[in-house]
Structure 1
Amino acid sequence: MMEAPHSSVNSPSVELKSLQLCDREATESADCDLRDDELPVPQQTRISSITCDSFRISWDMERRGREKITHYFIDLNKKENKKENKFKHKDVPTKLVAKAVPLPMTVRGHWFLSPRTEYTVSVQTAAKQPDGDYAVSPWSEIIEFCTADYSTVHLNQLLQKAEAIAGRLLPFTVFYRNQQKEYFQQDSPSYRSRDAQCCRMLPSVKDNSGSHGSPISGKLEGVFFSCNTEFNTGKPPQDSPYGPYRFQIQADVLFNQNTNVYFGDFYCMYTSYHYVTLVLAPAGSAGDAFCKGRLPALDRSNNCFLHCTEDDDGSLSFRHAQDVILEVIYTEPVDLSLGTVARISGQQLLSQSTVNAKKDPSCKICNISVGR
């Protein structure tokens, strides 16, 4: 039953726990039969306090017939489906029906709302009749809005799930990035993330792979690197989904005592192995400013995924988690002269690419209790 419990006088909450109409015995009926045109039409609908799985809604109404209202009908659709016909209250219920409560009210429900998703919403006022049917007003205007990214609270939930499966830490010495041969050639202007004249790899906007609500997707700029090693050799694998040519750079060039580490995402792609996305941002950089307040910060020498520790002789040692695949985003340009480029001997495994890959919404390991 979708009721609106009075959790707050100012903003009651409507939980989207079910897609059924309110229980007829649990609601009060209107005193007498009404015509639809006797109820006020919601006007000037306003959406506020938007999160990844909730929003507050309010509207204005004429005084005429307001005392007869017993329920609100809220028609909520993903924007791409906005051309579909609105539901009728006699049809199979697919939308929210809530008891009339003081406005604004909060609509909340992780089964219904997904992060970073455009929705349309329209509302009706309704009066329960003695026979159990409803008199309803015309629909209000259609309002469009977009839900928000995961908050740091949600990202910390993801972080805890990732920490649970990270496994032991293995040593590594280099970060590496695979690409096609043309990417590393000076006379190749087709790659926007490559500065041919200055021989630099440039930050580019992260794609939409991974969790739908991750605040770095489509916003954070950086250069992708890997650092996972093969268990038997301790070296980078000789296969890659991104290209047969590999740039390698000593780990301490990108990751040192001046580098801040942030957790960005945890996901899988309908497979048994999981990905953890980390951000390496030099302190005070634009990338560092972007991450502060948006992403959980990690202790560079004491976290479950990527360690940088200082030895007695002042040198740095590095370790990575064994049981997850780390995607490392470095937020600044990287000069190719600081590393080496060579062809790898393995295959290019295109099926393992994570470019715009969609997260498995049914995985119990890497999903949290909000919209995927």
Structure 2
Amino acid sequence: MDAPLATPCNIQICEVTCDSFRIVWDMPPEDTARATHFFIDLSRKESRDPNRFKHRDVPTKLVAKAVPLPMAVRGHWFLSPRTEYCVAVQTAVRQPDGDYLVSEWSQVVEFCTGDYAMEHLQQLLDKAKVSAGRLLKFSVFYRNQHPEYFDYVRRECGSLMRPALKDCSGSHGSPINGKLQGVFFSCNTEFDTGLPPRDSPYGPLRFQIPAGHLLNPNISLYFADFYCMYTAYHYVVLVLAPVGSEGDTFCRTRLPMLDLASNPFLTYADPQRPGEEPLFCHASDVILEVLFTEPVHLDQGSVEQISGHHQLKSLTTANAKKDPSCKVCNISVGR
């Protein structure tokens, strides 16, 4: 009878991406020489099932031919970005009759997948470009809120709208979620008036600021996300960061940079003649969410009552989850 296989130990996870990882463990040289297969059991950490390994002597998830370690694991599961997983392994020798001689399961090791890499964001950007539509002129950025918000800004913050941490709405793998601070603005306009919409899901008061205060040659523009929430319309998240600022440094290695003068979403063009104003344009067929990474003083603009309604709660996006089935805004890696 063949000698039993030792239990794999010292499990290590390395080179983790949003949809792959490499795994290595220790086993005796004699096991390395005769192992023909590895069994890998992977589950999300939030699963509290104590019987995760229902059959401890047969493969439960993945059977892989034995290869030199570390072994790359990808494509066997649709791994999601920023998700905690548990993994355990067995080594095995396939017998002439087709059965397996297997080791005991290793200890369970936990790890977390990463954010979208630049290549994944580029895929998302390419999809967003298709949906952007023609460019329309605009002149102001705006931010809708309830009176309590502006009262707090004046009373407690010296009239500065301070950056807040980006929530986890949109694509789960976006590198700015829960990591980059900023103040959100809109710039979409109505087709018939060329002005900001009369309605808002965020509150009855609107802060408006001339577009040039946030979008000018001293600003870096980045693409951060493209998503929908089980609706026909799509959102594009952009980041505006003053050149050389902390926000600019954060985004430069994580997000695709856009040309201010030539991109499908948000553009700035210098005045053509003395006395003229710069030209600002926004995409017409997507809803732009613009994150400005620095504080904005209320004195730079004005706060006014909006003329329409402000109960359109279905349009709010706070911590909203992306539709994982949408073929327009999903890419081939984890959601």
Q: Does TM, normalized by the shorter one, top 0.5?
A: yes
Match of 1:310 in 2: 270
After superposition, give the CA deviation of every residue in 1:281-324 in whole Å (9 maximum; x if it has no partner). 01011110110110000000100000100122353110000000
Aligned to 2:179: 219
1:49 alignment partner AA: E
Q: In the alignment, which residue of structure 1 is the partner of 2:230?
A: 270
Corresponding residue number in structure 1 for 2:5: 39
Question: Which residue does 2:322 correspond to in 1?
Answer: 359
**Of 229, 250, 258, the match for 1:298:** 258
State how far apart, in whole Å, the 2-side matches of 1:196 and 1:345 are.
Answer: 28
Structure 1 residue 50: Cα displacement: 0.6
2:61 paired residue number: 95
Deviation string 1:59-103 (CA, Å, 9 cap, x unpaired) is 111234443311111111111115442142677x65111011111
Indicate if the aligned counterparts of 2:78 and 2:333 stay in contact, CA closer than 8 A.
no
| Separation (CA, whole Å) in 2 of partners of 1:136 and 1:90 | 6
Q: Partners of 2:81 and 2:232 in 1: how far apart?
A: 25
| Alignment-derived partner of residue 45 in structure 2 | 79
For 2:63 and 2:46, the matched residues in 1 are separated by 22
Corresponding residue of 1:323: 285
What's the % identity of the aligned pairs?
62
Structure 2 gap ranges (5+): none
1:198 aligned to 2:158? yes
Q: Which position in structure 1 is the counterpart of 2:128? A: 162
Change beyond 3 A, Cα 1:151–1:261: same
Structure 2 letter corresponding to 1:283: V
Unaligned runs of 5+ in 1: 1-32
Q: Match of 1:80, SS? A: coil
Residue in structure 2 matched with residue 230 of structure 1 by the alignment = 190
1:121 and 2:87 matched:
yes
Q: CA RMSD in A?
A: 1.7
Q: Does the aligned pair in 1 maintain the 2:57–2:102 contact within 8 Å?
A: no
Mapped partners of 1:174, 1:110: distance in 2: 48
Deviation, structure 1 residue 195? 6.9
Q: Deviations over 1:185-223 (max 9, x none)?
A: 1xx3xx7xx873410100000000000100000001000
Residue in 2 aligned with 1:179?
145
- TM superposition score normalised by structure 1: 0.86
Shift of 1:129: 2.2
Secondary structure, in 3 states, of the residue corresponding to 1:41?
Answer: coil
SS at match of 2:168: coil
**Structure 1 residues 119 and 197, CA gap change in structure 2 (3 angstroms):** closer
| Mapped partners of 1:360, 1:132: distance in 2 | 43
Matches within 5 A, 1:47-86: 47-85=13-51, 86=53
CA–CA separation in structure 1 for the residues paired with 2:203 and 2:81: 32
**Aligned CA distance change for structure 1 residues 131 and 82 (closer, same or farther; 3 Å):** farther
* Counterparts of residues 120-139 of structure 1 (less than 5 Å): 120-139=86-105
Distance 1:110 1:151 in 2: 20
Superimposed CA distance per residue, residues 331-355 of structure 1 (whole angstroms, 9 cap, x where no aligned partner): 0000001111111121221111000
Identify which of 315, 336, 346 aligns with 2:298.
Answer: 336
66 and 111 in structure 1: CA distance in 2 versus 1, 3 angstrom threshold: closer
Q: 2: CA distance between counterparts of 1:149 and 1:155?
A: 10
Q: How many residues are aligned here?
A: 331
Q: Is the 8 A contact 1:241 1:351 kept in 2?
A: yes
Q: What residue number does 1:259 align with?
A: 219
TM-score by length of structure 2 reads: 0.95
3-state DSSP of counterpart to 2:46: helix
* Deviation digits for residues 81-130 of structure 1 (CA, Å, limit 9, x no counterpart): 15442142677x65111011111110012742111111111111112123
Match of 1:8 in 2: none
